[in-house]
């Protein structure tokens, strides 16, 4: 059948099956055919589509153990982050790192080494994994951690499922007093100011910035910086059960938007309103869902880009050269006037937890585009800037970068390829992305 990623671009043919019990993996790994694990399908491009077979792991969704004293949680890899929060926040625990959506699996979070708004301080998800058990190309299941089979461990963090199929993982949850976030919003009128605000917010656990991708000239890079921290009990309204996880009524995007609905004018209007609203809303307490996962409020928001799908260009530029590169990237985007709902800027910290991990110390910029010819051409231009400034693109978002762009950004690629060859993973685990990039 044909499946896509979250961006619905590309859509490609694969044999899709499901694993219902942990034992099922042995049979799936026997024989010569290649396979690829897929979690919730929230990577944007072709990372979770197997060239031959794709195995859906979302039914391996059992918790295995939770130690309330240490916060150590052991789960099967198909467990959803949303399930973990709903189950453990009422008991006073929150995941150490969360990406922009809670509808991802633990296996997917490790394979993509996802980062969150706290990366500048706390690193990405892989840093918190104490132990995991991947099934390897020969069908064996190996225990690995920072101290046992450490090479495989490091390659599997951020390894896009290309070293083995992660079956179970243990990681440490964080204690919180409430499910609320104390948030402050800073207004930045241009790029220099937004960078200044990001730097000034380094001591805050969570920071992220929204950039108006259509602003030009002296307004280039204008936006809002959101910084937050877990609120303590004293800060919440008395009598309110602040660890509750209530379900907001969700209205799914019922159909694909007709193409053309998202145009320069509608996005410009949206951005203008968003900017002004942020400017008038400086400090407040919001619940965890609104703070971490605002887009989850509209399930299947990806359909807003129509059937042709969309791409997200997310790169990171080393810190010392960020200012210039960001200026050039934003200029390109605003010149093109490409309707982009989301341009997200974030300061990342140092990170060498995964061999192919995306984060490095510097600024990451993420921009959505409809997957049309003009935008794809623009993305190629953006890649030239990324390469020139020593940056790299995020594999979990990537659907289209060239092999040379990819190779210039990942210095540990040689070691990763070697491990794939040596363990037989190269033949056993392959995705459309791994073929495209020669992984």
Partner 1 sequence: MTAKTVLILGGTSDVGIATARIYAGKGWRVVLAGRNEAELERNTKDLKARYTTTDASYFRLDILDVEEFLEERLSPLPDTAICVVGLLGDQLLAQRSATRTRDILRTNFEGPALVFETLARQMAQRGGGILVGVGSVAGDRGRASNYIYGAAKGGFAIFLSGLRNRLAGTEVRVLTVKPGYIRTRMTASLKLPNLLTAAPDEVGRAIYRAAEITKRDVIYVRPVWALLMMIVRNIPEKVFKKMKL
Q: Which residues bind partner 1 (CB under 8 A)?
A: 18, 20-23, 59, 62-66, 68, 73-74, 87, 91
Min dist CB 181 to partner 1, Å, is: 24
Contact in structure between 224 and 345 (CB atoms under 8 Å): no
Full 3-state SS string of 177-243: CCCEEEEEEEEECCHHHHHHHHHHCCCCCEEEEEECCCCCHHHCCCEEEEEEEECCHHHCCCCCCCC
User: DSSP letter string over 42-105?
Assistant: -SSSSTT-BSSEEEE-TT---EEEE-TTT-EEEEETT-BHHHHHHHHGGGTEE-S---S-S--B
Which of 168/271 has CB closer to partner 1? 168
Cβ proximity to partner 1, 91 vs 421, nearer residue: 91
> Minimum distance from CB of 109 to partner 1 (Å)?
18
The closest of 103, 98, 105 to 61, measured between CA atoms, is 105
Q: Tell me the C-alpha distance between 165 and 163, whole Å.
A: 7
Distance (Å, rounded) from C-alpha 214 to C-alpha 198?
20
Judged by beta carbon, residue 73 or residue 77, the one nearer partner 1 is 73
C-alpha 291/C-alpha 369 separation (Å) is 24
Q: Shortest approach of partner 1 to residue 77 CB, angstroms?
A: 14
Distance in Å, CB of 303 to partner 1, minimum: 14
> Could you give the CA distance from residue 211 to residue 189 in angstroms, rounded to a whole number?
10
Q: How far is the CB of 142 from partner 1 (least distance, A)?
A: 20
The Cα–Cα gap between 233 and 217 comes to 45
CB nearer to partner 1: pick between 92 and 205: 92
Nearer to partner 1, 73 or 330 (CB): 73
Is the separation of the CB atoms in 331 and 299 below 8 Å? no
Position of tokens 């072709």? 46
In this complex, which beta carbon is closest to partner 1, that of residue 73 or of residue 132? 73
CB of 302 to partner 1, least distance (A): 17
> Nearest approach, Cβ of 61 to partner 1 (angstroms)?
8
How would you list the strands of the sheet with 35-38, edge to edge? Answer: 15-18, 53-56, 35-38
For partner 1, give the closer residue by CB, 86 or 142. Answer: 86
- State how far the Cα of 119 lies from the Cα of 33, in Å rounded to an integer: 38
Closer residue to partner 1, CB minimum distance, 18 or 145 = 18
Q: How far is the CB of 105 from partner 1 (least distance, A)?
A: 15
Packing angle of the helix pair 373-388, 322-336 (nearest 10 deg): 170
């Amino acid at each position: 059948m044909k499946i896509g990623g979250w961006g619905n671009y590309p859509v490609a043919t694969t044999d899709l099956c499901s694993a219902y019990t942990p034992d099922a993996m042995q049979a799936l790994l026997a024989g010569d055919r290649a396979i690829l694990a897929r979690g919730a399908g929230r990577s944007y491009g072709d990372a979770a589509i197997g060239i031959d077979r794709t195995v859906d792991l979302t039914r391996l969704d059992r918790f295995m153990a939770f130690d309330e004293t240490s916060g150590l949680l052991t789960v099967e890899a198909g467990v959803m982050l949303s399930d973990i929060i709903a189950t453990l926040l009422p008991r006073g625990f929150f995941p150490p790192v969360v990406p922009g959506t809670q509808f991802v699996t633990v296996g997917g979070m490790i394979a993509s080494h996802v980062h969150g708004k706290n990366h500048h301080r706390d690193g990405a998800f892989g840093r918190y994994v104490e132990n995991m058990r991947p099934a390897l190309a020969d069908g064996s299941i190996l225990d690995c951690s920072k101290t046992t089979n450490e090479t495989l461990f490091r390659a599997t963090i951020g390894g896009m499922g290309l070293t083995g199929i992660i079956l179970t993982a243990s990681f440490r949850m964080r204690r919180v007093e409430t499910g609320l976030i104390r948030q402050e919003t800073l207004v930045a009128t241009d790029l220099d100011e937004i960078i200044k605000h990001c730097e000034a917010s380094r001591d805050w656990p969570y920071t992220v910035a929204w950039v108006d991708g259509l602003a030009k000239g002296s307004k280039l890079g204008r936006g809002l910086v959101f910084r937050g921290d877990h609120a303590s009990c004293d800060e919440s309204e008395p009598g309110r059960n602040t660890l509750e996880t209530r379900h907001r009524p969700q209205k799914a995007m019922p159909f694909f938007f007709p193409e053309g609905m998202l145009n320069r004018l509608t996005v410009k209007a949206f951005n203008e309103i968003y900017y002004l609203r942020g400017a008038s809303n400086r400090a407040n307490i919001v619940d965890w869902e609104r703070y971490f996962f605002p887009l989850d409020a509209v399930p299947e928001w990806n359909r807003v880009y129509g059937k042709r799908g969309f791409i997200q260009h997310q790169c990171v530029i080393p810190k010392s050269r960020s200012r210039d590169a960001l200026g050039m990237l934003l200029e390109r985007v605003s010149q093109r006037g490409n309707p982009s709902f989301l341009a997200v800027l974030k300061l990342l910290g140092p990170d060498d937890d995964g061999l192919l991990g995306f984060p490095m110390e510097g600024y990451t910029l993420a921009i959505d585009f409809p997957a049309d010819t003009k935008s794809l051409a623009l993305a190629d231009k953006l890649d030239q800037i990324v390469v020139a400034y020593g940056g790299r693109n995020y594999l979990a978002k990537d659907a289209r970068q060239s092999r040379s762009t990819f190779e210039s950004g990942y210095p540990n690629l040689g070691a990763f390829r070697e491990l794939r060859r040596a363990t037989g993973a190269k033949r056993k685990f392959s995705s459309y992305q791994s073929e495209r990039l020669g992984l």
